[in-house]
Structure 1
Amino acid sequence: MAEELVFYTNPMSRGRIVRWMLEEIGQPYRTEYLDFGTTMKAPDYLSVNPMGKVPTVKHGNTIVTECAAICAYLAEAFPQAGLAPTAAERGRYFRWMFFAAGPMEMAVTNRALGFEIPPERLRMAGCGSLEHVFDTLEQAVSASPFIAGDRFTAADVYVGSHVGWGLNFGTIEKRQAFIDYWGRVSDRDAYRRGNELDNAAMPKQPNS
């Protein structure tokens, strides 16, 4: 009997990244929707993820948090989907996935919150300057059609999600290389299915 796959999320969260990944692997899963500040902070869920945040995936007795880790785990747990890296792709796959999870997210979040690292302290910050992050990302997405090489992998789900959100919300510069990369990685049925599911689960707005 296959181990149950449970997805804890909120449609207005980074859970959308994991939703896309779950749709890519093509395996049955159960979705548990949680609300910020209430069920997400309740004892039942804190026993699963003490941070009280989403997304989280529970696969049998295995619990995985953090979007990059979840994407990498699902790619390895369901190799038939073909989203894990080959030996030749492994270096670039992990390099850019964790670049997006570390320096890129830190730099973009700092700017969004109005925090500017003093120039004389840039060496103390793991992300360096936002401009340097963008220049590095541009090189990464321009070197090959996909982030790890010539084919789509789980790293494109993660890096692509950051690029797509950044372009949509204006937190990433609209460089042509980013627009082209996002166009390549998002033109997938799994991405469209995931969006439809999360959009349908969005809370109803007044007068909507």
Structure 2
Amino acid sequence: MITLHHCPQTRSMRVLWLLEELGVPFQVAPHAFDKTLRSPDYLSISPAGRVPALEMDGDTFFESGALMEILCERFPERGLGRSPGDLDRPEWLVWLHFAETITQHSAALTQQHVAIYEDAMRSPIVMKLEAARLKKCYAAIEGRLSTLVENRDYLLTSGYSAADIAVGQAVYLAQFFAKLDDFPETAKWYARLTERPAFKAALPGPGQGIYTRDFYPAWEG
């Protein structure tokens, strides 16, 4: 049995979404987004005390990008990975890991808006810079999806893959801080992804997420 250690609205959501798409048996070990992730028992699974972590075939693994590669290689027949030698393999790797470029900015904004409780400790400069950097990431996706001939449905020429899952989940988190209003092709691509049953299955239940608002403006002070 595959066990995913998961906190809603964190990087582990991208692995949960992938597992739902793969259609393989798995179970979720839920965790609160708090200091319990630093417990000795959990540190034996994820030594940095972070989610996601995965237990499979008697081994434990961590780091969301690595977990997605491992699962795609473990279940190649599902067609969500791209094997070495495949023409789309380099682009698959690039976009799979570009998700972390996006998420580092969302994580900084989550710290500013959610983890820090006192306004005096928040930085309006950091908030504005990180929100602007998210839009730079959106621009990169927009450029990938837009061509002179026609627009792409997905990030790869060969179609839907785990790269769309990774980047799509990163955009899901990013939209708490930066909207897609100026990125029409990215918005259409994202809308296409969010209609997938596996995406909906990976969403948090009512009151389970770490965000209490739908959107956090760069600065309200």
The two structures have a TM-score, normalised by structure 2, of 0.73
Q: Does 1:170 align with 2:177?
A: yes
The code of the aligned residue for 1:5 comes to: I
Indicate how the Cα distance of structure 1 residues 88 and 190 shifts in structure 2: closer, same or farther if over 3 A, else same: same
- 1:13-92 aligned within 5 A: 13-85=10-82, 87-92=86-91
Indicate how the Cα distance of structure 1 residues 108 and 12 shifts in structure 2: closer, same or farther if over 3 A, else same: closer
Q: CA deviation at 1:199?
A: 1.1
Bigger Cα displacement from structure 2, 149-158 vs 133-142: 133-142
Cα distance in 1, alignment partners of residues 190 and 134 from structure 2: 19
Q: CA deviation at 1:179?
A: 0.7
Cα distance in 2, alignment partners of residues 47 and 17 from structure 1: 22
Cα distance in 2, alignment partners of residues 146 and 56 from structure 1: 27
The code of the aligned residue for 1:105 comes to: T
Cα distance in 1, alignment partners of residues 34 and 109 from structure 2: 25
The equivalent of 1:124 in structure 2 is none
- 1:1-208 aligned within 5 A: 4-85=1-82, 87-102=86-101, 104-109=102-107, 113=112, 114-115=125-126, 132-143=136-147, 144-167=152-175, 169-174=176-181, 175-195=183-203, 198-199=204-205, 202=208
The two structures have a TM-score, normalised by structure 1, of 0.77
- 1:2-34: CA deviation from partner (whole Å, max 9, x where unpaired): xx2111112243222211111011111121112
Which secondary structure does the structure 2 equivalent of 1:115 belong to? helix
Which secondary structure does the structure 2 equivalent of 1:57 belong to? strand
8 A Cα contact 1:11 1:201, kept in partner: no
The equivalent of 1:122 in structure 2 is none
Q: Number of matched residues?
A: 187
Q: CA deviation at 1:94?
A: 0.8
8 A Cα contact 1:107 1:130, kept in partner: yes
CA RMSD of aligned residues (A): 2.7
8 A Cα contact 1:163 1:172, kept in partner: no
The equivalent of 1:123 in structure 2 is none
The equivalent of 1:125 in structure 2 is none
The code of the aligned residue for 1:36 comes to: F
8 A Cα contact 1:96 1:159, kept in partner: yes
The code of the aligned residue for 1:106 comes to: Q
Indicate how the Cα distance of structure 1 residues 71 and 88 shifts in structure 2: closer, same or farther if over 3 A, else same: same
Q: CA deviation at 1:117?
A: 10
Q: Which 5+ residue runs of structure 2 have no aligned equivalent?
A: 113-124, 210-221
Q: CA deviation at 1:130?
A: 5.2
Cα distance in 1, alignment partners of residues 103 and 37 from structure 2: 23
Cα distance in 2, alignment partners of residues 68 and 24 from structure 1: 16
